[in-house]
Chains A and B, each alone.
Chain A
């Protein structure tokens, strides 16, 4: 029997990152997957990144994770979303070749020292009191482990719906792991059901591309990984088409056949990724919706029609798809389906993603109620590092809302729980202006190096980049220019007699790089990427100070600790609903309590007062 430090169950995006992170830190690690071949499969849309999600990918990359590098190895179209908006809200997104992506993940994992990949099905955990001791596989073998990370995706009690038909199973063709599910029900509290939908997959050879709007990638693509500079494979275009009145009519007439509307599904779907049924019912005033036609690969004629996920019967899918411009003759390769699965209330987790009720067990990915490859991958990295920390009996690593989107996501999950599949948005991050895609490495790579998560070559590249940025910053802030000096190079500022450095001036609207170079000739030696980086820093410099002050306030509030034994039943005046939520989330501080959904200032005041009364009473007793 082999002894592992960390065993990771599941080879999806969470599992891959968790296993690789653990192995990077030098832990003896095993990754268990149903099929070796299924590791790194993109089971939903063939895209990675986007707004908020792109931030997560960059943060995974800053810890030297897999997703961004594999994405760049498979990226067939690059688009920086919000390119024309401020850098804080830009997000890189790629179309990925499915086959290349899977291949890239498997290649990267195979190169990792100290990582065993085991084909098998986890059916049970070994327990010693409330500690985990390992994982039992379906073939009867047992893997001993100090910590276990479960990343079961949609496999737990997965039910697939195509119209009124339903079948058990995770992704199409995979057996569901129901034995594990029943065991988990006894360990983890608060099981719930969520659902997610997929659109029908189309045969690209039957699409009338010449009649469709074309969406090209960016001319100057931004890579997912800090380590890459340009695309590694051939680039392609996507198509755009629209639904019409006829499409909507077909969907409306067949609503009762939809798994969701026919009452076959109890799980809750996301508001931001509605099925075509949802779109037509909830936004009945719209007579057309956009559909993106995304090729799934360079050597694959499958096309993913993004925007029309559905759980209608196959024949209805064909009817409505064919009512769409350019798709009149289209052949459906695989019908769209909805999948329902179990998740466990993430309020039962620590901020390091450890299950509170079972020491050594960690959850990451969809099992925590999230959706999306990127959200899963980001949790995988965090769970991976903390599983190693636990195995080595070291303190948990907690990422803060003020230092990363990962911190925002985990804090949201463990304090608020989920009511729909959780997806990242930039608006979830209150420190959005300082948590940018461009500075993810500056925020996290040092920590990664310290934890042993970051390999030598990246650590070196990062150190060099920081040195370059520092010298660039020094050159640009060495000298102050008067309004007249600036006028001379064509930069107009108010004539207030204040001297400004090139670093301050560079972020003013309409100031060009050429003007800055005229002011400070040394700038011509700064690379384009570094210049952009300095520009973003300069642009948000004022906000950085302000946000630092806010963080300080938050830290203070975090300092108002709610005692672990605090009994919410003794707080009269709290609604039962709030009491339940508080008992579930068990916030550690008043600040955390305040972030719980539905919390009111009056309720916070009540808790605050109660805590004060208790501590006063304690003082009186001891006095």
Chain B
């Protein structure tokens, strides 16, 4: 196994830069550079020397294989964050025998290979590193700490019990097994089904927390959409001008609203367009706006009749508080009037949407959950029908369980038999 190294912090000038080295030669190989190591997990101040020359004064941290991120010997060099120092140290490491630059994700892969994390946790870690907002951090942390695995285990054990009941009736027809297992099977399936449906429903919110909510700003030409967007984003993201129809495409600005990742969409003004290019822009605007999580309708443009009606939860607001004050809620992107109130309304509504967030966060998870739901629905229909075909219901449960296994673990028939034997007295 090679010993690998890489810069663990971002490139560029900074207060501190950390280089991480992992592998069997992490300590031994670095001795010429650091001179000596302190105790494991205790920072030691060392002069880094190469060919008689001092490169930097650094904090050196050493982890043993039993207590490191990768499951291998790990050394961290905390350098002064100058690009020259980092480059010099990386060059020296490249010359050391048995060391090479890590590939992308190689540290995490080694953690996986060494059993330090399971696959779902790796996914969680990836999201954790990507997390930009508080809600993203919390959600990723949940997956990283194994919450998904725990939930799947609960569903799976219920399905396993239901399958075991059916199998007991099939395989031990001649024995002292309960005659009618239907009520319990039905109850078990019903409970799991309702929780899985909740997960599937909550997937959208969880996905949004991961990838960002979309909020579309809509309005007739000249309603002040772009100005408002710029005000919200605090920078000139969308081109604004006094002339109607300036924004011909959908412009996206990512921002953090009360801990939630939000992508604001500035859309082309909604009006009957004579210009085909503008017409395309409008069609696209309507599409994007329709699929967004929330819409802000700005009134006070050239023509306030839209092809798109506000849905429940959408915000309708007068957009030019500065030039044409109206009764009720109004904002102005130019003066900033009402913007704070709009932000808190948006935050409140998005927080409401994110409250239903599922434990599953990825399309892969959702596909498994949906597969399981479909199979459970089939099984339930069979269990509730007058002529129960146990073997077909059991088959459907197998499919449902297999879908869960794709998420975390594989079912063995031994488990199934174990459940049967611990529950019933088999053996005439």
Residues of chain A having any CB pair with chain B under 8 Å: 50-52, 81-82, 85-86, 88-89, 270-274, 278-279, 282-283, 286, 289-292, 306-307, 416, 425-428, 430, 432-433, 509, 543, 571-574, 594-595, 597-602, 604-606, 609-610
Contacts and interface: CB of A to CB of B under 8 A. Distances in A.
A274 B410 contact: no
B170 A51 contact: yes
Contact of A597 (B387, B405, B414): B414
A425 B115 contact: no
A290 B115 CA distance: 49
Contact of B112 (A51, A290, A416, A605): A605
A271 B414 CA distance: 12
A426 B168 CA distance: 10
B183 interface: no
Interface string B75-119: 000000000000000000000000000000000010011111011
B113 A606 contact: yes
A52 B171 contact: yes
A286 B391 contact: no
A86 B389 contact: yes
B421 interface: yes
Nearest to A606: B113
Interface string B414-428: 101100010001111
B15 interface: no
A52 B426 CA distance: 15
A430 B427 contact: no
Nearest to A45: B428
A57 B49 CA distance: 78
A609 B108 CA distance: 13
A52 B167 CA distance: 12
Interface in B139-197: 167, 170-176
Contacts of A85: 170, 173, 389-391
A597 B405 CA distance: 15
A283 B425 contact: yes
11 contacts: A51-B172, A85-B170, A86-B390, A89-B170, A426-B171, A427-B170, A427-B416, A572-B113, A573-B113, A574-B115, A597-B414
B14 interface: no
Nearest to A79: B174
A81 B174 contact: yes
A571 B414 CA distance: 26
A509 B387 contact: yes
B389 to A, nearest CB: 5
A567 to B, nearest CB: 14
A609 B113 contact: yes
A272 B421 contact: yes
Contacts of A52: 171
Nearest to A424: B171
A82 B71 contact: no
Interface of B: 71, 109, 112-116, 118-119, 167, 170-176, 387, 389-392, 394-395, 398, 405, 408-410, 412-414, 416-417, 421, 425-428
Contacts of A51: 170-174
B116 to A, nearest CB: 7
Nearest to B176: A290
A426 B421 CA distance: 15
Given A433-B395, A572-B114, A573-B116, A274 B425 contact: yes
A85 B113 CA distance: 47
A587 B387 CA distance: 42
Contacts of B175: 290
A279 B425 CA distance: 7
Given A425-B417, A606-B115, A609-B113, A272 B170 contact: no
Given A427-B413, A601-B119, 10 more contacts: A89-B390, A271-B421, A282-B425, A430-B398, A433-B395, A572-B71, A572-B114, A597-B412, A604-B410, A609-B112
Given A50-B174, A85-B389, A595-B412, A572 B395 contact: no
Nearest to A510: B387
Contacts of A571: 113
B425 A81 contact: no
A86 B387 CA distance: 10
Nearest to A573: B115
Given A89-B170, A426-B170, A543 B428 contact: no
Given A432-B391, A572-B113, A286 B173 contact: no
Contacts of B115: 572-574, 602, 606
- 9 closest cross-chain pairs (CB), A and B: A573-B115, A307-B428, A283-B425, A271-B421, A427-B167, A273-B427, A86-B391, A425-B171, A573-B114
A60 to B, nearest CB: 20
A274 B426 contact: yes
B170 A82 contact: yes
Contact of B391 (A89, A598, A610): A89
A435 to B, nearest CB: 11
Given A594-B410, A605-B112, A82 B427 contact: no
Contacts of B425: 274, 279, 282-283, 286, 289
Contacts of B174: 50-51, 81
B426 A290 contact: no
A587 to B, nearest CB: 14
A252 to B, nearest CB: 15
A602 B71 contact: no
A272 B119 contact: no
Nearest to B115: A573
A52 B387 CA distance: 23
Nearest to B393: A86
B428 A274 contact: no
Contacts of A599: 410, 412
Contacts of B391: 85-86, 88-89, 432-433
A272 B409 contact: no
Contacts of A598: 412
A212 to B, nearest CB: 15
A407 to B, nearest CB: 14
Contacts of A289: 176, 425, 428
Contacts of A427: 167, 170-171, 394, 413, 416-417
A88 B395 CA distance: 11
Contacts of A82: 170, 173
A543 to B, nearest CB: 7
A50 B172 CA distance: 9
B176 A605 contact: no
B219 to A, nearest CB: 47
Contacts of B118: 601-602
A88, A291, A597: most-surrounded residue (chain B CB, <10 A): A88
Nearest to A570: B1
A279, A282, A430, A572: most-surrounded residue (chain B CB, <10 A): A572
A278 B422 CA distance: 12
B173 A279 contact: no
A432 B390 CA distance: 12
Contacts of B421: 271-272
A272 B172 CA distance: 9
Nearest to B167: A427
A416 B116 CA distance: 26
Contacts of A50: 174
Nearest to B111: A573
A414 to B, nearest CB: 15
Contacts of A600: 409-410
Contacts of B413: 427-428, 430
Nearest to B412: A597
Contacts of B71: 572-573
A601 B113 contact: no
B44 to A, nearest CB: 27
B165 to A, nearest CB: 12
Contacts of A432: 391, 395
Contact of B427 (A89, A274, A425, A594): A274
A449 B405 CA distance: 40
A111 to B, nearest CB: 34
Contacts of B414: 416, 597
Contacts of B416: 427
